[in-house]
Chain A
Amino acid sequence: MNRSRERTSLWAKAWYKLRRDRIGMISLGVVLLYFVVALGVWLGLWGQGWSQVEGPMWAPPGPKYWLGTNIIGQDIFERALYSTRTAFDVGLVVAVLSTLLGGLMGGLAGYFSNRWADELILWLMGVLDAIPFYLFVAALAYALQGNPYAMHIAMIATFWTTTARLVRGEVIKLKQFEFVEAARAIGLPRRLILFRHILPNTFHILLVQATIVFVGAIKSEVILSFLGLGVTDGVSWGLMIAESTQEVQAGHFSNFVTASSFLFVLVMAFNLFADALQDALDPRKVSA
């Protein structure tokens, strides 16, 4: 037993627990691998030839085209790699922004619970949650006239509410804690009490929620792209699956299988990682 480990923050304890979770660590590895792929595309290391039409139509997998080509002779592997970047683009932007928004709104609503600010935020969340998601995206895409970020905005605008509800509940609970009263007794301004003493204790929710939103955003992106409401300039797994519908009828499955597998493995890994993260961060388990 090394005593140095006792002198650790709750974060360090959570990381220690996560490290011992084998499935959690494997899934984290898979997610990181995808991230490296996406990073490589950003940096221009690979996946740049996704739009070139150079090969024959429906070339079989081989040394030149690893996973074959599609109906117009584009390299499927290159396209799948580039789609990873698209997925991370959407996932990161939506996860970070919607979590920040949800955390802030939930924090405010919880801290001012039962006052007008809370009522307003609750009302807003109720309205947003009542609109069917795909209808909302379609309307927004139409309203923004082909803005490439219409999809992002729609997702952020709808995904933050779940986070906000969770954070609101947690903040209402934390507000009763004596350390918050102690901060008031010291004369700490409300802004500092909220941002320094209350919200840091909701980080575990935000972190888990961010991973869940990330997965949700990637899945939605694929579906929206499949429906033609999502990615317009670029390629995504959803677009690949959309174009593969004709191919599948002709008996060429490579495009479909590739896109689906890339998506499936990432979503699966991310979900498992989110579970492990939740276990590791659970304050009831950590503080014991």
Chain B
Amino acid sequence: MSSALLSIRDLVVEFSTERGRVRAIDGVSFDLAPGETLGLVGESGCGKTVTALAVLGLIPSPPGRILSGSIRLEGRELTRLGEREYRHVRGKLISMIFQEPMTALNPVLTIATQMTDVLVRHQGMSRRRARDRAVEMLALVGIPSPEKRIDDYPHQMSGGMRQRVMIAMALSCNPKLLLADEPTTALDVTTQAQVLEEMVRLQERFGTAVILVTHDLGVVAETCRRAVVMYAGRVVEEAPVECLFEQPRHPYTEGLLASIPRIREEKLPELPTIPGSVPDLLHLPPGCRFADRCPRADELCRRREPKLELRCDIAVACHHPNRYAGCRE
């Protein structure tokens, strides 16, 4: 535990809406080792983005607030930090890449201004030194003729280029942890492939730990070492990627994996689906949150909510999980 870079325990984030109070995430726990890449996977509304925002200390308050639980970065409790201290953490230790590269960059400032500002403020560099560093970073993320492109405005670049700039900016301060929230969702597949490749290469080079928030299990399979699967505000399964894809233990992971559109050799008569839809967080069932859509649900599942239990590197919250053959107990 002490070796973990980031350690989240029983995190609960609540939002007050006009229809009542909602726990967007309800008891989320996981660890992240230094330099590790972790996929945080789930469908919209499962709480994956809220988890990332909580780590960054960016939960909009009101209406949201962290109700309980802890987030520790290198042993330091983040949930009790003041806004000023948090800003320091965000600049130096944690960076973030957003989904929409068009809105994440300020349209009226050049790339140079935006990149050097960060370096001057958080690294105490001189303007000149910061500019050199920015050019160097842009070259690293594969932007052609960076010393020229650095004076461009965001709208002069394509979506893929802007996302590279975001990555360069995020990594320029040498953060310990990079949070990437759906970094390639807004991009085309061919560009997505480029950007992901760039991100993995740099992450290995700098030894940055990454939390990749995504709905796309394919992206997780190609870039991450471990994955945390979330459903309706809870972690349902956490496992090394190989185990997760070879034999998912939670029926939700299994269903999710089966329903990913993929190129198949033989055409199926019917695509596998998960019946029904995600429960309303305001009307959660008393037992397992997935019970209504689960083929394996029984009385026990409807009555009592399963706890996340760890067994040889795989944690699963299910009363009737799949057996994992590779598990040496």
Contacts and interface: CB of A to CB of B under 8 A. Distances in A.
Contacts of A17: 18
B283 A1 contact: yes
Contacts of B20: 1
Interface in A1-48: 1, 5, 16-17
Interface in B260-314: 282-283
Q: Say what secondary structure dominates the interface of chain A.
A: helix
Contacts of B283: 1
A278 to B, nearest CB: 17
Nearest to B20: A1
B328 interface: no
A16 B18 CA distance: 10
Contacts of A16: 18
B84 interface: no
Nearest to B17: A288
B282 to A, nearest CB: 6
B18 A1 contact: no
Contacts of A1: 19-20, 282-283
A1 B18 CA distance: 11
B277 to A, nearest CB: 15
Interface in B1-23: 18-20
Nearest to A16: B18
Contacts of B282: 1
A17 B18 CA distance: 8
A5 B282 CA distance: 14
A216 B142 CA distance: 58
A222 B20 CA distance: 46
A16 B283 CA distance: 21
Interface in B190-227: none
Interface in B222-278: none
A17 B282 CA distance: 19
Task: Name, among A1, A5, A17, the residue most crowded by chain B CB atoms within 10 Å (CB to CB).
Answer: A1
B152 to A, nearest CB: 28
A1 B20 CA distance: 8
A17 B17 CA distance: 12
Nearest to B18: A17
Task: Name, among B18, B282, B283, the residue most crowded by chain A CB atoms within 10 Å (CB to CB).
Answer: B18
Nearest to B282: A1
B153 to A, nearest CB: 25
A158 to B, nearest CB: 35
B16 to A, nearest CB: 13
Contacts of B18: 16-17
7 contacts: A1-B19, A1-B20, A1-B282, A1-B283, A5-B19, A16-B18, A17-B18
Interface of A: 1, 5, 16-17
Interface of B: 18-20, 282-283
Counting from the closest, the 7 A-B pairs by CB-CB distance are: A1-B20, A1-B282, A1-B19, A17-B18, A1-B283, A16-B18, A5-B19
